Amino acid sequence: MNADFFSWERFADVFPKVLVKLPVTFEIVLMATVIGLCLGTILAMIRIKKIPVLNQIAFLMISFFRGTPALVQMFIVYYGTPLLFRSVFGIDLSGADKLLFVFITFGLNQSGYMAEQIRAAILSVPEGQTEAAYAVGLTGWQTFRRIVFPQALKVAIPGLETMFVTLFQDTALAYMIGVADMMGKVKLIAASTRHSMEGYVGVAIIFAVISLLLEEIFTVVNRRMAHERKASI
């Protein structure tokens, strides 16, 4: 193999430098998941309850987050949020950590997908079961916690698996606004050495391995839940 194109020696040198930035990627995934799950649940409940005005707003938000590329959303958040806060609140966000904008971007992006996944999962529970729960004296919260949530979770897990893996892979876009994640590290190394292929191969290997591990974890969870479902019948 042409050493100018790819070198295993350079790969061995670059790979640990790229791998050390993996915690940044995990941090983005964690924060985006928390934001997306909280906001997505709120949007889903608004859609289920069909609250006037809020239902239309929720529909537009979900459509926007699902219908536009994450990269476009990140640029809107990164450049638009500081302008909004400066013009409306007089707050200067020019010195804010770039990771904050990444958290917001992927959190909002995930909320659109999670909202529809949560809504579909909740609506999949037969209405007769909730009516029966109310009939025996359960409150709304007790009905949700004991009847709706366990069944909805089983329906939602496969869809959440796909969203989680996709989110993990999409975090590679964070370097576009200067975040020093794995891709950002590769760009810095490429700028100083003029060799980038080793770094890109390293990132591809890391993403592939982690994605496979995540898929395997969700597969185990699905099998266990399916086994519990059969055992309860």
| Band of residue 228 on the pLDDT scale cut at 50, 70, 90 | low
pLDDT reported for residue 77: 94
pLDDT reported for residue 89: 87
Higher pLDDT, 13 or 154: 13
DSSP annotation of 111 reads H
What are 172's two structure tokens?
């590679």
Q: Among 8-12, 64-68, 190-194, name the most confident range.
A: 64-68
Higher pLDDT, 3 or 207: 207
Q: Among 16-20, 133-137, 162-166, 186-190, name the most confident range.
A: 16-20
pLDDT reported for residue 78: 93
pLDDT reported for residue 1: 52
Q: How is domain 23-179 classified at the CATH fold level?
A: MetI-like fold (1.10.3720)
pLDDT reported for residue 42: 95
Contact residues for 94 (Cβ-Cβ < 8 A; gap 6+)? 82
Give the Cα separation of 152 and 51 in Å (integer).
Answer: 21
Contact residues for 78 (Cβ-Cβ < 8 A; gap 6+)? 98, 101, 105, 177
pLDDT higher than threshold 90 for residue 214: no
pLDDT higher than threshold 60 for residue 83: yes
Give the Cα separation of 113 and 121 in Å (integer).
Answer: 12
Give the Cα separation of 144 and 11 in Å (integer).
Answer: 52
Categorise residue 40: left if φ over 0, alpha if ψ from -120 to 50, beta otherwise.
alpha
